[in-house]
A = this chain, B = another copy of it.
Amino acid sequence: MPTLDSQPNQQQIIQAHERIAPFIHRTPIITSETINKITGAKLYFKCENFQKVGAFKKRGATNAILCLSDEQKAKGVITHSSGNHGQAVALAAKEQGIKATVVMPDNSPAVKFEATKGYGAEVVFCSANIQSRAETVERVIKDTGAHFIHPFNDYDIIAGQATAAKELIEDVTDLEIVLAPIGGGGLMSGTCLSVNYFSPNSKIIGAEPEEVDDAYRSFQSGKIEGNDTTNTIADGLKTPLGDKTFDIIREHVQEIITVNESEIMAALKLAWERMKIIIEPSSAVPLAAILKSKKQFQGSRIGIILTGGNIDLKSVDFT
Q: Which chain B residues lie closer than 8 Å to A278 at the CB level?
A: 272-273, 276-278
B-contact 0/1 string along A115-141, CB 8 Å cutoff:
000000000000000000000000000
A296 on interface, CB distance cutoff 8 Å: no
A interface residues, tally (CB under 8 Å): 18
Inter-subunit contact B276/A49 (CB<8 Å): yes
Q: Which chain B residues lie closer than 8 Å to A318 at the CB level?
A: 313-314
B-contact 0/1 string along A281-319, CB 8 Å cutoff:
000000000000000000000000000010001101011
Least Cβ–Cβ distance between A88 and chain B, in angstroms: 15
Look across to chain B and name the residue whose beta carbon is closest to the beta carbon of A276. Answer: B309
A166 on interface, CB distance cutoff 8 Å: no
Q: Which of A50, A54, A313 has the most CB of B within 10 A?
A: A313
Least Cβ–Cβ distance between A20 and chain B, in angstroms: 17
User: How many angstroms between the C-alpha atoms of A272 and B311 in the bound complex?
Assistant: 10
Least Cβ–Cβ distance between A204 and chain B, in angstroms: 26
A40 on interface, CB distance cutoff 8 Å: no
Least Cβ–Cβ distance between A252 and chain B, in angstroms: 29
A242 on interface, CB distance cutoff 8 Å: no
A46 on interface, CB distance cutoff 8 Å: no
Residue in B49, B269, B276 whose beta carbon sits within 8 Å of that of A50 in the complex: B276
Inter-subunit contact B313/A272 (CB<8 Å): yes
A226 on interface, CB distance cutoff 8 Å: no
Inter-subunit contact A319/B314 (CB<8 Å): yes
Q: Which chain B residues lie closer than 8 Å to A269 at the CB level?
A: 313
Least Cβ–Cβ distance between A233 and chain B, in angstroms: 15
A28 on interface, CB distance cutoff 8 Å: yes
Q: Which chain B residues lie closer than 8 Å to A277 at the CB level?
A: 276-278
User: How many angstroms between the C-alpha atoms of A165 and B191 in the bound complex?
Assistant: 39
Look across to chain B and name the residue whose beta carbon is closest to the beta carbon of A28. Answer: B28
Residue in B54, B314, B319 whose beta carbon sits within 8 Å of that of A276 in the complex: B54
Residues of A within 8 A of B (CB): 28, 30, 49-50, 54, 269, 272-273, 276-279, 309, 313-314, 316, 318-319
Top 8 nearest A-B pairs (CB, nearest first) are: A276-B309, A276-B278, A49-B276, A313-B318, A314-B319, A314-B318, A272-B278, A277-B277
